[in-house]
């Protein structure tokens, strides 16, 4: 092979990639454009030869498309004018064994529609219009802002009447105004990185730098994010850095040898998920995945990432058949996985300080949201979720004896910076929808669902709910079709949707709900030991004394006519929300809203009517200047 003089900057870029220090490797690999010339680069360290393959050469190795190695870096490249925007391509790789295999480009920004996996030449830039929004986000304190997430599976939120997907641009026109109207602050997308199997919901990906072609091009997704930002909505991506698709024409044995995965197949294979685990100890894999994360944050302007499967990354024993695996110290900690997540979060927080990093982590691993730990901003509180759902599924007869399900989370609520999730995982595979989980007949199911939502809002932590729960869809989520929008022809579902919108707006407007989520000063648990009565009240505090919200909740179907609520000071108090308001699907047509506090010993109380299976949100009226209200 003719020796080619390699520019020093290319050797430096390859060196940084190989040493795990290339944090935007996609700017070097994949395709770079210089006028009409396209340069293709790929990492295939053990290949004997690599050719660019396309329709121009009948997808066979051709000398006209031979790539040359960048010395001993494992990087191969070719510069050509033979391909243009929209053309398909792969790499024909000669393995150490002498076989020629076709592989798609791991760094591509677009792939052909399934079932094909060929990469598409796409180098078109997008012109952004969200500078004002991004500037505001950069000045906000991420822990002290309202975060109320609408979790969406983009291909099944709504579909055309013929069952076809809405495009990213159609979703921008329909989904964004809906989420805005409903009062959420963020949209979280289940993975939209390119994948083949619809039933994987995007969690079995092969295109870590590409938006799925099911709904359009990368530039169409960028338009969606741009429009969301113009509507003052953040957008979060579900990101999957732990594993990849099993197909043989993607990342697996990329150059004929274990390249992105470990050499030991028992380590590499993820039996439970039917995927291959990334070898997170490899420097090149670290460069690849950190670059992918930063691509979505920097080039696609996502506001944050929800990192999936953190437990699988930080433990050796999370997969089927590996329950007894331990490291050399006799524990199940995977040190390579821990080090990778620490590195990922440190780099993201340095380069994109406003980025919100969420960990989907289901164990008691310490310090997930600590700088000296894994370094995430937020951790999903799976314990709160399971305990809460278990409680509201209970027959009323057993609730007083199970109140610990609600109060146990108070024991650890400040151990991490938690997000409270009621996610897609809880409304599929026979688990029933949130509405269907609730105890009782249809009326009581709605009453329980409204009460549970108020409980969620009042509990410290950021919020996440999956699509369809906002109106109480009864059927489980099915990824192969759109949500049951026809439910909204029913008055109870419309009332539930109206309730969710009002509750969301109240959450957004009242600082007490989110300004001090992660410090003890943000909550007062003074009336949370009333399990025998099935009731509870607590206070949430903002930074200003006037920013205090009181939540009172009754989990039993018996109205409490003289329920005493402790309030912070003398004065008059308003009921801002009553879950049993007839407008929300309840039975109360006349809503008492004005209460005078009275002194009881060393504190003040108000006496309210607490509805059966219902909740109140209460706030002190603004004091008239110059009057002494005690």
Domain definitions of the chain by residue range: 8-120, 520-620
Residues of the chain with pLDDT under 70: 1-4, 623-630
Q: What is the 3-state secondary structure (H, E, C) of 466-514?
A: ECCCCCCCCCCCCCCCCCCHHHHHCHHHHHHHHHHHHHHHHHHHCHHHC
Structure tokens, 343: 């590195």
| Per-residue pLDDT reduced to its tens digit, 432-482 | 999 999 999 999 999 999 999 999 999 999 999 999 999 999 999 999 999
d(CA 428, CA 434): 10
Q: Which of 308, 470, 515, 517 is catalytic?
A: 308
The topology (CATH level 3) of 520-620 is Immunoglobulin-like (2.60.40)
Q: Which of 360, 416, 426, 580 is catalytic?
A: 360
Q: Are strands 614-620 and 572-578 parallel, antiparallel or unpaired?
A: antiparallel
Determine contact, residues 41/27, Cβ cutoff 8 Å.
no
d(CA 340, CA 491): 50
What's residue 629's pLDDT?
45
- What's the number of CA atoms in the CB half-sphere (13 Å) around residue 213? 18
Residue 394 CA: distances (Å) to CA of 42, 166, 302, 399: 56, 39, 39, 6
Determine contact, residues 75/41, Cβ cutoff 8 Å.
yes
What's residue 3's pLDDT?
63
Is 264 annotated in the active site? Answer: no
| The two domains 8-120 and 520-620 share their CATH topology (first three levels equal) | yes
Determine contact, residues 384/423, Cβ cutoff 8 Å.
no
Beta bridge partners of 358: 306, 378
The correct answer on CATH 2.60.40.10 for the domain covering 8-120 is: yes
What's residue 625's pLDDT?
54
Is 77 annotated in the active site? Answer: no
Determine contact, residues 476/556, Cβ cutoff 8 Å.
no
d(CA 226, CA 224): 5
What's residue 628's pLDDT?
47
Determine contact, residues 610/592, Cβ cutoff 8 Å.
no
Q: Are strands 205-211 and 234-239 parallel, antiparallel or unpaired?
A: unpaired
3-state helix, strand, coil in the chain (%, to 5): 30, 25, 45
d(CA 242, CA 265): 15
Give backbone dihedrals phi and psi of 57, rounded to 5 degrees, phi first: -120, 25
Could you identify the residue written with the tokens 């920097």? 298
């Amino acid at each position: 092979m003719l020796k080619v003089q390699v520019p020093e900057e290319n050797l430096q870029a390859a060196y940084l990639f190989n040493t795990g220090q290339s944090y935007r490797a996609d700017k070097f690999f994949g395709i770079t454009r210089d006028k009409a010339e396209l340069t293709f680069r790929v990492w295939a360290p053990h290949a004997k030869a690599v050719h660019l393959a396309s329709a121009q050469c009948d997808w066979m190795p051709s000398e006209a498309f031979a790539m040359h190695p960048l010395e001993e870096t494992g990087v191969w490249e070719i510069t050509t004018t033979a391909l243009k925007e929209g053309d398909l391509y792969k790499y024909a790789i000669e393995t150490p064994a002498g076989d020629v295999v076709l592989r798609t480009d791991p760094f591509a920004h677009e792939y052909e529609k399934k079932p094909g996996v060929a990469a598409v030449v796409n180098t078109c830039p997008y012109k952004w219009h969200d500078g004002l929004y991004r500037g505001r986000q950069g000045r906000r304190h991420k822990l002290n802002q309202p975060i109320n997430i609408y979790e969406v599976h983009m291909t099944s939120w709504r579909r055309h009447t013929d069952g076809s997907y809405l495009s990213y641009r159609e979703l921008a026109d329909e989904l964004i105004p809906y989420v805005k109207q409903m009062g959420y602050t963020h949209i979280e997308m289940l993975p939209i990185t390119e994948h083949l199997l619809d039933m994987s919901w995007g969690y079995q990906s092969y295109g870590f730098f590409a938006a799925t072609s099911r709904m359009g091009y990368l530039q169409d997704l960028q338009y969606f994010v741009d429009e969301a930002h113009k509507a003052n909505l953040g957008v979060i991506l579900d990101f999957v850095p732990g594993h990849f698709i099993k197909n043989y024409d993607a990342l697996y044995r990329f150059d004929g040898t274990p390249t992105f995965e470990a050499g030991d197949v028992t380590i590499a294979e993820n039996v439970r998920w039917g995927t291959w685990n990334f070898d997170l100890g490899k420097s090149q894999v670290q460069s690849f995945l950190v670059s992918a994360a930063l691509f979505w944050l920097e080039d696609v302007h996502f506001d944050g990432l929800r990192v999936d499967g953190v437990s699988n990354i930080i433990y050796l024993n999370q997969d089927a058949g590996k329950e007894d695996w331990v490291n050399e110290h006799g524990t199940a900690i995977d040190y390579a996985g821990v080090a990778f997540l620490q590195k990922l979060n440190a780099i993201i927080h340095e380069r994109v300080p406003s980025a919100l990093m969420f960990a989907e982590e289901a164990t008691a691993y310490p310090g997930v949201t600590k700088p000296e730990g894994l370094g995430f901003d937020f951790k999903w509180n799976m314990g709160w979720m399971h305990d809460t759902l278990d409680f509201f599924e209970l027959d009323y007869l057993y609730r007083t004896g199970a109140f610990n399900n609600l109060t146990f989370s108070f024991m650890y609520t400040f151990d991490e910076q938690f997000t409270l999730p009621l996610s897609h995982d809880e409304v599929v595979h026979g688990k029933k929808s949130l509405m269907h989980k609730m105890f009782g007949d249809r009326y009581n199911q709605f009453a329980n669902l409204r009460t549970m939502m108020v409980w969620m809002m009042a509990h410290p932590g950021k919020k996440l709910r999956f699509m369809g729960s906002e109106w109480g869809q009864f059927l489980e989520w099915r990824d192969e079709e759109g949500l049951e929008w026809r439910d909204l022809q029913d008055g109870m579902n419309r009332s539930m949707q109206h309730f969710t919108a009002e509750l969301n707006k109240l959450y957004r407007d009242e600082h007490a709900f989110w300004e001090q989520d992660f410090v003890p000063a943000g909550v007062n648990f003074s009336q949370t030991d009333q399990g025998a009565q099935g009731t509870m009240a607590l206070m949430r505090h903002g930074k200003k004394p006037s920013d205090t919200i009181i939540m009172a909740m009754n989990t039993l179907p018996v109205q409490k006519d003289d329920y005493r609520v402790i309030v912070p000071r003398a004065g008059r108090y308003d009921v801002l929300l009553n879950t049993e308001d007839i407008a929300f699907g309840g039975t109360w047509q006349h809503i008492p809203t004005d209460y005078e506090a009275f002194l009881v010993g060393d504190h003040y109380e108000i006496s309210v009517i607490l509805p059966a299976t219902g909740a109140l949100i209460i706030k002190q009226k603004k004091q008239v200047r110059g009057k002494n209200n005690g």
